[in-house]
Amino acid sequence: MSARSPANSVDPDAPRAPLRAFSRSLPMALLKAREAVMGRFRPILHAHDLTEQQWRVLRALTSADGFRAGELARLSSISMPSLSRILRALEKRALIERGVEDKDLRAAQISITASGRALIALIAPHSERGYADITAAFGDERLATLYRLLDELATCLTDGTEPVEVDEE
Amino acid sequence: MSARSPANSVDPDAPRAPLRAFSRSLPMALLKAREAVMGRFRPILHAHDLTEQQWRVLRALTSADGFRAGELARLSSISMPSLSRILRALEKRALIERGVEDKDLRAAQISITASGRALIALIAPHSERGYADITAAFGDERLATLYRLLDELATCLTDGTEPVEVDEE
DNA sequence: CGTTAATATTTAACGTGTTATATAAATTGG
DNA sequence: CCAATTTATATAACACGTTAAATATTAACG
Please tell me which residue of chain B has the smallest CA distance to A160.
B137
Which helix or strand (DSSP H or E) is residue B98 part of? strand B96-100
Residue A8 — very low, low, confident or very high, per pLDDT cuts 50/70/90? very low
* Mean predicted lDDT score pLDDT of chain B: 84
State which CATH number among 2.60.40.10, 2.60.40.420, 1.10.10.10, 1.10.1740.10 fits the domain covering A26-156.
1.10.10.10
B24 — pLDDT class (breaks 50, 70, 90): confident
Closest among B126, B121, B87 to A11, alpha carbons compared: B121
Share of chain B above pLDDT 70, in %: 83
Q: Do A138 and B156 touch (CB under 8 A)?
A: yes
Partner-chain contact B156 A137, CB within 8 Å: yes
- Name the band, by pLDDT with cuts 50, 70 and 90, for residue B169: very low
Domain range summary for chain B, segments of one domain joined by + = 26-156
Q: Please compute Rg for chain A using Cα positions.
A: 22
B19 band by pLDDT with thresholds 50, 70 and 90? confident
Q: Does residue B113 sit at the A interface (CB-CB below 8 Å)?
A: yes
What residue has its CA nearest to the C1' of D18?
A79
Angle between helix A140-158 and A114-138 (nearest 10): 110
The confidence score (pLDDT) of residue B112 equals 95
The tens digit of pLDDT for each residue in B87-125 reads: 999 999 999 999 887 788 888 899 999 999 999 999 999
To the nearest whole Å, the CA of A42 is away from the closest chain B CA by 10
Q: Which of A25, A17, A165, A163 is nearest to B123 (CA)?
A: A17
Contacts of A147 in chain B (CB under 8 A): 24, 26, 29
Give the pLDDT of residue A166. Answer: 44
- pLDDT per residue as tens digits for the range A90-136: 999 999 999 887 788 888 899 999 999 999 999 999 999 999 999 99
Residue B109: list chain A partners with CB under 8 A: 3-5
Residue B4 has pLDDT above 90, yes or no: no
What is the mean pLDDT of the segment spanning B76-88?
96
pLDDT at B18: 66
pLDDT for B79 equals: 96
Residue B12 contacts A, CB cutoff 8 Å: no
- The 8-class DSSP code of residue A127 comes to H
In chain B, what are the helix, strand and coil shares in percent, each to the nearest 5?
60, 5, 35
d(CA B25, CA B31): 10
- Of the pLDDT bands very low, low, confident and very high (cuts 50, 70, 90), residue B12 is very low
Whether pLDDT at B6 is above 60:
no
Mean pLDDT of B141-156: 95
Q: How far is the CA of B81 from the C1' of C21 (A)?
A: 12
